[in-house]
């Protein structure tokens, strides 16, 4: 029993000696690694970029509604019974295509009657002219009185006027006959037939709507631009109508898979005092017929020229109440708190309006771990900004191709 206790004591003693030896050998290294009094703390490695101005194109986003470039309501201009409908609902029609036929027989009869009146008036004018010519010969020998000559002159003038009046009536009947064939006044997509065959329609202020047509070759997008953007990116760069029309615009439908390039057609002539915006209108090619009036779309309006701006990653920007700030690596190798004014976002980067100069080192990530005055070791990285979006190549704005 006594020998067992002695053996246990020897084991405990050996464990204590072994632990003491390990502590002894590790202690010098730990002491060597411990910071000495008066030495500055070790600098924290941080990713950073060197600010520089880059060429970018500024784009602003807006919500827009599509409007037809041209549209027309089709109403009868003569009264009668509809005998034909020559289009299908939703069909594309060309200017001059016949859409409806109003019974043309009464109008053809009126044309024939008016033509007969013209022929009679011409014959009467010819007779009056012959009578006048004879009177002018007889007056030379005083064979007739001056009064008869005056009467013949008056009769000739009246006959000429009757011819002109008869021709005017003939022209009117031809116009009415042409109106009996209701034609498309513009090229576009026709709506449904609102009045069917066999119905009697009347011309006038209360004439019924037969159908409507909207032009689809081009289409407008109306949207509101805030005053500051208008002054900064429109008025400062577009000095006249031509340069205004050259402002590039991109239209994106709701699913963001269909894009169209276009140009600014016009800006309104005043700022809305309640919203602080100005109405803008862009025009887009719609030859594929996909865009329809009334659609909702997103519009991106770009600057007319690329600009030199300082951009940094949005990860480098933090918020302090109502201020935006970044950390700049100062000359002493410590993080400096810097308030900045930011602009538009481009490919995950932010334009810096003020607060930074070219050549400064900005901590680009992990700023939640940084405190003002903390020693840092910047690891310089290259900016990941992509090249500016290129504008489409078009010979001239679509707006110049619109009819007056």
Each residue's pLDDT tens digit, 261-299? 998 998 998 999 999 999 999 999 998 888 889 999 999
pTM here? 0.65
Count the helix, strand and coil residues of the chain and give each as a percent rounded to the nearest 5. Answer: 30, 35, 35
* In contact, 234 and 62? CB cutoff 8 Å: no
Residues 267 and 230: beta-carbon distance below 8 Å: yes
**Tens of pLDDT along the chain (404 residues)?**
445 555 555 656 565 666 555 554 444 444 444 455 556 668 888 888 888 888 777 788 899 999 999 999 999 999 999 999 999 999 999 999 999 999 999 999 999 999 999 999 999 999 999 999 999 989 888 888 889 989 999 999 999 999 999 999 999 999 999 999 999 999 999 999 999 999 999 999 999 999 999 998 899 999 999 988 888 777 776 677 777 787 889 998 876 677 899 989 989 989 999 999 999 999 999 988 888 899 999 998 887 767 778 888 888 888 888 889 999 998 888 998 999 988 877 777 888 888 888 888 888 888 888 888 889 888 887 765 554 444 454 444 454 445 44
Cβ contacts of 288 within 8 Å, gap of 6 or more: none
Q: How far is the C-alpha of 358 from the C-alpha of 340, rounded, in Å?
A: 14
Cα within 13 Å of Cα(219), Cβ side:
24
């Amino acid at each position: 029993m006594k020998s067992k206790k002695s053996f246990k004591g020897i084991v405990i003693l050996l464990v204590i000696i072994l632990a003491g030896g390990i502590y002894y050998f590790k202690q010098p290294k730990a002491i060597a690694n411990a910071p000495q009094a008066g030495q500055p703390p070790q600098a924290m490695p941080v990713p950073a970029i060197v600010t520089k101005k880059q060429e970018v194109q500024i784009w602003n986003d807006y919500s827009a509604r599509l409007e037809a470039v041209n549209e027309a309501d089709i109403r009868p201009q003569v009264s009668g019974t509809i005998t034909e409908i020559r289009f299908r609902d939703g069909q594309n029609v060309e200017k001059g295509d016949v859409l409806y036929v109003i019974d043309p027989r009464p109008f053809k009869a009126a044309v024939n009657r008016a033509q007969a009146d013209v022929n009679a008036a011409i014959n009467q004018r010819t007779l009056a002219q012959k009578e006048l010519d004879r009177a002018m010969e007889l007056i030379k020998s005083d064979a007739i009185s001056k009064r008869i000559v005056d009467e013949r002159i008056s009769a000739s003038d009246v006959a000429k006027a009757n011819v002109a009046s008869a021709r005017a009536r003939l022209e009117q009947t031809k116009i009415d006959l042409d109106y009996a064939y209701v034609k498309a006044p513009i090229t576009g997509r026709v709506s449904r037939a609102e009045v069917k065959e066999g119905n009697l329609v009347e011309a006038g202020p209360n004439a019924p709507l037969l159908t409507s047509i909207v032009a689809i070759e081009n289409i407008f997008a109306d949207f509101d631009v805030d005053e500051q953007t208008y002054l900064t990116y429109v008025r400062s760069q577009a000095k006249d109508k031509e340069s205004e029309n050259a402002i590039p615009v991109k239209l994106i439908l709701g699913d963001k898979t269909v894009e169209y390039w276009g140009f600014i057609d016009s800006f309104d002539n005043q700022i809305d005092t309640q919203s602080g915006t100005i109405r803008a209108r862009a025009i887009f090619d719609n030859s594929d017929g996909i865009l329809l009036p009334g659609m909702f779309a997103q519009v991106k309006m770009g600057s007319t020229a690329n600009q030199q701006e300082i951009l940094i990653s949005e990860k480098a920007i933090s918020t302090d109440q109502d201020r935006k700030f970044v950390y700049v690596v100062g000359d002493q190798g410590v993080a400096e708190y810097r308030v900045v004014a930011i602009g538009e976002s481009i490919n995950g980067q932010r334009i810096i309006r003020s607060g930074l100069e070219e050549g400064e080192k900005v901590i680009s990530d992990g700023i939640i771990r940084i405190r003002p005055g903390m020693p840092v070791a910047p690891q310089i990285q290259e900016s990941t900004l992509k090249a500016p979006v290129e504008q489409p190549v078009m010979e001239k704005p679509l707006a110049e191709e619109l009819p007056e």
